[in-house]
Structure 1
Amino acid sequence: MDLENVCSTSALQALSKLLSSPEEEEDALDQVLYPSTSTGALSPGNIGPAKKEESKVNPPNKPENRKDIWDPEEVPEGSEFDDMWDPREQPEYDIIFKQHVGAEDVFLGMTRKDPSTACCEDLLVKIKLPGIKSSDITLDIHEKVLDLRTPKHKLVLHLPHPVDSKTGKASFITETEILEVTLTMKREFDFLNFF
């Protein structure tokens, strides 16, 4: 096969004609006959059907609301609890991962549990609240957010894993002034680690 015949203008036009629809052929012919100064003459980019640009601002299947400033999907979960003008201080806290193990796990290695956080079932949040009584504490747990309010403290904690908000336990230890919140994690692939 002769290389000059493959790369000739007529061969490229014939290939373009095979790949395009009849409506696009007329547009392509106009572009070849009357090329704009910005695009230039026929090039390999002109082969095939013309590319249509899609608007990436608003998806075509969603109705556009002119009053919306942003899409609800763009707002992170739990941001409704954040209040940067609240003067209360954030208390110190620790996040500890817990797992339920028995002798078969520790000594015999009969299950696939290991010390990693992937094998942990619970999330323990220890919050230091000096000078606070248990009656002053307001605690609200959501799937990904822990919201704690006292007269002196405010804590909005975005949790590292989704939790079951209905099965959590909280206890306030008055001697150390620490609130311990135990939450059961629910993750997508827990059935692989805990069977």
Structure 2
Amino acid sequence: MNLEDLSSVSALQALSKLLSSPEEEEDDLDQVSYPSSAVGALSPGNIGPAKKEESKVNPPNHTENRKDIWDPEEVPEGLEFDDMWDPREQPEYDIIFKQQVGAEDVFLGMTRKDPSTACCEDLLVKIKLPGTKTSDVALDIHEKILDLRTPKHKLLLHLPHPVDSKTGKASFITETETLEVVLTMKREFDFINFF
């Protein structure tokens, strides 16, 4: 048997009959047989039983007569804080990962910490706010969002990791006019973050 015999229409139909079950063979009688000149119309998708149209089922949490344009799950987190028409400028900022290390980590390597961000516990966000007083700063921290407002600046920052919004610390350094916010990350317990 050569390769040309395997690619003929009759060979594909015979292969289809071998792969189909006896119940499906009864359904095959309703199918249209392909003429021998329709070799170009056949593809691997034609092997096996005919596919029936699947009915689309609405997810159980959706109601059909809702007037909402989208579901709350479809709206990105933090969009309620964003105001694209706000003319205030976005300040410069840096996100720095911090980890707490001791002598047992640096010299002995007892806790298996390395310099990667996977071993970091805290996020340090440095925000440069030139011409701003401490009393003008409004800071709001959520699990994945940092929202900062001053009379001259606006910053809506999506954080790279979820943080504990209740244990953060902020300090304003007047010499450099920089706000430093330290946030503890919520990390999954693994062999590195076991505390």
| TM tier, smaller | 0.7 to 0.9
TM-score normalized by the length of structure 2: 0.76
Using the alignment, how far apart are the partners of 2:176 and 2:124 within structure 1?
16
What's the counterpart of residue 33 of structure 2? 32
Amino acid at match of 1:121: E
TM-score normalized by the length of structure 1: 0.76
Distance 1:17 1:91, change over 3 A: closer
Structure 1 unaligned regions, length at least 5: none
What's the counterpart of residue 165 of structure 2? 165
Using the alignment, how far apart are the partners of 2:148 and 2:158 within structure 1?
12
Alpha-carbon shift at residue 40 of structure 1 (Å):
8.5
What's the counterpart of residue 94 of structure 2? 94
What's the counterpart of residue 50 of structure 1? 50
Structure 2 unaligned regions, length at least 5: none
Distance 1:175 1:55, change over 3 A: farther
Alignment root-mean-square deviation, CA: 3.6
Using the alignment, how far apart are the partners of 1:166 and 1:180 within structure 2?
16
Percent identical among aligned pairs is 77
Aligned to 1:146, the other structure's residue is in SS state strand
Amino acid at match of 1:111: T
Using the alignment, how far apart are the partners of 2:151 and 2:41 within structure 1?
73
Using the alignment, how far apart are the partners of 2:183 and 2:25 within structure 1?
63
Using the alignment, how far apart are the partners of 1:180 and 1:115 within structure 2?
22
Alpha-carbon shift at residue 22 of structure 1 (Å):
7.0
Using the alignment, how far apart are the partners of 2:155 and 2:61 within structure 1?
36
Amino acid at match of 1:179: L
What's the counterpart of residue 194 of structure 1? 193
Equivalent pair of 1:17/1:25 in contact (CA under 8 Å):
no
